[in-house]
Amino acid sequence: MNSDIDSLYNNHSGSRILSSIPAMGTMIGATLLAELSDESRRFRDYRAFQAYAGTSPISRQSGKSQKLVVMRRSCNKHLRHALYWLAFNSLTRVEWAR
């Protein structure tokens, strides 16, 4: 199964761009291609993409209550998971990312 994913990922036109990112593996790259390949989905700006991917924090504050920052729950969970692992791999494997 992994060889099928490897060959499909390597034959995709966007894999060269994604493979140039340090710490980008085949599974993370394939997930990003699968989740973002829909051409009809266009984001207005980076904030819209961040909200869709679930990487933008939500601040909650009411009256005198303490400010609370929580993770966005309404998002593409597969994309958020892939971006999490890309960040984790970058921090553990790439010197300048630390």
pLDDT tens digits along 73-90: 889 999 999 999 999 999
- Count the neighbouring beta carbons within 10 Å of the beta carbon of residue 73: 8
Comparison of pLDDT for 16 and 62, the residue scoring more: 16
- Please tell me the total count of domains within the chain: 1
Measuring CA to CA, which residue among 49, 43, 53, 46 is closest to residue 82? 53
Instruction: Provide the residue range defining the domain that includes 34.
Output: 2-97
Distance CA 80, CA 98 (A): 20
